[in-house]
Structure 1
Amino acid sequence: MIVTTLLRAFAGTVELQVSGGYPERFLNLLNRNRIGVWDLRKEGNCIFLRMARRDYKKIRPFVRKSGVTVHVIGKHGAPVLLHKYRRRKGILVGVLLAFGVMAAMSCFVWDVEVVGNQSLSSQQVLDLFEGYGIKPGILRSKVDPGKLQKQAMLDLPEVSWISIYLNGTKAVIQLKERVVPPDIIPEDTPCNLIASKEGQIKRVEAYDGQTVVKLNQGVKKGDLLVSGIVTDSLGQNMLRHARGKVIALTQNTYEIRVPLEQTKRESTGKVITRRYLGVFGTQLPLFLATPLRGQYEIEHTEQPVTLFGFSLPMKLYTLTYREYTEEQISYTEQEAEQEALRQLEEKKAQELSDVDIISEQTEGNLENGEYVLTVKINCEENIAVQQEIFTKE
């Protein structure tokens, strides 16, 4: 694709507007006579297209046969530049050198991108492929997608599928991570029900298995609640997949601290943007350096620099500075208590949404410049979790 674009730029292209007559017949005649067109689009009753400069001289008979009217709306490429600057040899030499450099650069990979990853970091994948030799500056001809895919699948067990392909001067690493199945014990595997946390038994609903705890009995985390080993009427032991619910009274304790003296940030609305051009590891400022006064939050972004559709060995770095001021604010004891209670409600919504809250006991006091809220919440919840009787080794 890059080579085709460069060849078209060298040879020159013509942009045409076709109207009237039978434009479909005109296009069929071009196709039949092997005259290539691209960027074909229709707007109203007109068709717009591009073709090679040398082919434009051949279309006159096809225009007559189809009855269309053709207007040249643009000429592009090296011939246009050469004619425009024919009296300025320095510019011509510069243009030719630029095209030569671009042609040479198109033989290399100048950017490597990772797509499709979620929990796996892009940097981890980039570091791995850099170990394979895939990094900016490598020849495109040295990239072996099949070999790289096999090696990466061995080195990245958390990936279910991976591929690498070249898009111009960019190497794109596309992957899909494995979906880890939940830790569920199969129905045909014998298991017990054990306590997931400390509590006092209030209700047992055993659907299968033998209950080994009593009402109001206290249990610790890991204690056996319902056994998967059941004794029948003949005294024989049988293995079962224990199932059920064991509701217990549990206690959850939270401690929330709110400093009475805090620093609050306020944005001033002032934003400063500075850009750098990164070339072979060196960052060149694209601004007049002036010292920044004040306090700023900094946002950093980067993007590859492209020319005629392919990436160059450089990146554009953008630093966005957002000014803010800091203000010292003081809470009264009552205000700190309200803030602590607000944070408590957030915790309850996040962590206790699936349990029944029976009672709460709160205690607040001041300690070393902080309001400390201690909360004990009594709940009724299912504490039964499954555990295999015979673990796999």
Structure 2
Amino acid sequence: MLSMFLLGWRPVRVPIGCAAPFLELCRRAGCPYTHFTCTDEYLSVQMTCAAARRCEAACARACVPAEFGAVRGLPDLGRRMLQRPGVPVGILLGIVLLWLSGRYVWDIRISGVETLSRREVLDTLASCGFSVGTPLRGFAADRLENRVLLEDRRIAWISVNRRGTVAYVQVREAVYPPAPTEPAPANIVASRPGVIERVELTRGNILVAAGQTVDAGQLLVSGLYDSQTVGVRAVCAEAHIYARTTRREVVEIPLRAQARSPSGVAGSDTPAGTEKYLIFFGKSIKFSKRTGNQDVVCDTIEQRLDLTLVPGIGFPVAVRTVWYVPAAQPAGYTRTPAEAEALAYLELSRRIAAIPGGAELLSKTVCPILTEDAFILDVTLTCVEDIALSVPIRVDG
């Protein structure tokens, strides 16, 4: 049966009245047959292609009415496959893939990560020469583990175990000791000039009092203690020094502004170009490219799609798509004085809210100025704010 499939066979059918002459003809011509079946109308057998050729010639000479069917078996299957080139190409690719399956890394599975992401660990392994598509020949887990520990200080321990074509990576992240709780010795100086309103001392030697005028950088609280028993001791001075200060803010809003729109055309988000790559066993193959206007400055957006046959099981094939989107280009427009004034007061409110130390605004003097190019607010602020600034103490020797 297997030999008939490999060599090819043909069905033969003769009328039941010619069965005896046909069988005698097969005996004389040496044409073996199988699958002998007989009905009320026909006698049917199967012969190899070589036997069918001899039998067909003998039947023609003896005028026996025999019907020989088309060739079947492996020759017929090969002929039909040649008519569909995708089938042999797919079989060839399957054979190549089967040959590659035991020689390269198909998947990397990572466990034990907490703060690190899986992609960060994969990038570290790739920088050490190990990724999907890496040949397994010459693979040494101990050398790879040592290189990873030297490459990424965030990893304290790593184990790489290979089972077939899958690499199982176990990671333990480095745990750093907590920062010291004892603050370094420091003094407190004035961050800006003003008149002291009140003092809230936590630690240190206070050197100023309420009502005193101080300059920027003046020492307010000392972190040094002088004792006859232990000598000079340095601590971190802590205090809130509230003073009445005067600030001058100049807010300038240009009347000629610039807005940004993609390639100078508002609302244009059509990519100027697209490239697609097939990543097969770590090798990148470009199979699609569409270019647009080459003179446009573009931003690059990348996306990687990992293909899988079974969910949760890695497959060494991925598709990477790169879009080139036109970058935003400046486009000018003119503000009205009313718009510029509204923006100026909005910026002034933001600056007042950003004053450190929980400032309390006492008074505000605003001088608006409109020029040909800008709207300007010249503002003088009087407020009470915390002017304490911690400065580390330098210890020589």
Q: Indicate the TM-score class for this superposition, using the shorter chain for normalisation.
A: 0.5 to 0.7
Match of 1:245 in 2: 240
Residues 157-198 of structure 1: CA deviation (Å, up to 9, x unaligned): 5x3657586997799897868789678644xx6x34312622
Q: How many residues align?
A: 299
Superposed displacement of residue 338, structure 1: 1.1
AA matched with 1:132: C
Does the C-alpha gap of structure 1 residues 312 and 381 become closer, same or farther in structure 2, counting only changes over 3 Å? same
Match of 1:68 in 2: none
Compute the TM-score of the two structures, normalised by the length of structure 1: 0.55
Superposed displacement of residue 88, structure 1: 1.9
Q: 2:393 & 2:269 partners in 1: Cα distance?
A: 64
* 3-state DSSP of counterpart to 1:194: strand
Q: Structure 1 residue 384 and structure 2 residue 388: aligned?
A: yes
Match of 1:108 in 2: 104
Report if the CA contact (8 A) 2:190-2:389 is conserved: yes
Report if the CA contact (8 A) 2:109-2:166 is conserved: no
* 3-state DSSP of counterpart to 1:220: coil
Q: 1:180 & 1:364 partners in 2: Cα distance?
A: 55
Match of 1:230 in 2: 225
Report if the CA contact (8 A) 2:193-2:216 is conserved: yes
Match of 2:81 in 1: 88
Superposed displacement of residue 303, structure 1: 0.5
Residues 284-311 of structure 1: CA deviation (Å, up to 9, x unaligned): 4355x5x459989756122044242535
AA matched with 1:285: S
Match of 1:67 in 2: none
- Match 1:359 to one of 339, 359, 363: 363
Q: Structure 1 residue 194 and structure 2 residue 188: aligned?
A: yes
Residues 124-167 of structure 1: CA deviation (Å, up to 9, x unaligned): 994x655532456532566666655554444545x365758699
Match of 1:276 in 2: 275
Q: Structure 1 residue 210 and structure 2 residue 205: aligned?
A: yes
Q: 1:268 & 1:88 partners in 2: Cα distance?
A: 52
- Match 1:285 to one of 279, 285, 288: 288
Superposed displacement of residue 374, structure 1: 4.3
Match of 1:139 in 2: 135
Report if the CA contact (8 A) 1:207-1:244 is conserved: yes
Q: Structure 1 residue 310 and structure 2 residue 314: aligned?
A: yes
* 3-state DSSP of counterpart to 2:342: helix
Report if the CA contact (8 A) 1:263-1:327 is conserved: yes
Superposed displacement of residue 360, structure 1: 3.4
Compute the TM-score of the two structures, normalised by the length of structure 2: 0.54
Does the C-alpha gap of structure 1 residues 236 and 299 become closer, same or farther in structure 2, counting only changes over 3 Å? closer
Does the C-alpha gap of structure 1 residues 321 and 210 become closer, same or farther in structure 2, counting only changes over 3 Å? closer
Report if the CA contact (8 A) 1:203-1:248 is conserved: yes
* 3-state DSSP of counterpart to 1:310: coil
Does the C-alpha gap of structure 1 residues 174 and 335 become closer, same or farther in structure 2, counting only changes over 3 Å? farther
AA matched with 2:288: P
Residues 236-263 of structure 1: CA deviation (Å, up to 9, x unaligned): 8553633332223345554444221224
1:325-344 equivalence runs, <5 A: 328-344=332-348
Residues 34-93 of structure 1: CA deviation (Å, up to 9, x unaligned): xxxxxxxxxxxxxxxxxxxxxxxxxxxxxxxxxxxxxxxxxxxxxxxx9xx884265443
Deviates more, 1:297-306 or 1:200-209: 297-306
AA matched with 1:300: I
Superposed displacement of residue 218, structure 1: 1.3
The percentage of aligned residue pairs carrying the same residue is: 16
Query: Which structure shows the higher strand fraction?
Result: 1
Superposed displacement of residue 331, structure 1: 1.3
Q: 1:358 & 1:180 partners in 2: Cα distance?
A: 46
AA matched with 1:88: M
Q: 1:217 & 1:365 partners in 2: Cα distance?
A: 33
Report if the CA contact (8 A) 1:273-1:318 is conserved: no
Report if the CA contact (8 A) 1:258-1:340 is conserved: yes
Does the C-alpha gap of structure 1 residues 334 and 322 become closer, same or farther in structure 2, counting only changes over 3 Å? same
AA matched with 2:239: G
Does the C-alpha gap of structure 1 residues 351 and 388 become closer, same or farther in structure 2, counting only changes over 3 Å? closer
Report if the CA contact (8 A) 2:357-2:386 is conserved: no
Deviates more, 1:359-368 or 1:223-232: 359-368
Superposed displacement of residue 278, structure 1: 1.9
Structure 1: gaps spanning 5 or more residues:
1-81
Superposed displacement of residue 211, structure 1: 1.1
Report if the CA contact (8 A) 2:244-2:385 is conserved: yes
Superposed displacement of residue 336, structure 1: 0.9
Does the C-alpha gap of structure 1 residues 282 and 213 become closer, same or farther in structure 2, counting only changes over 3 Å? farther
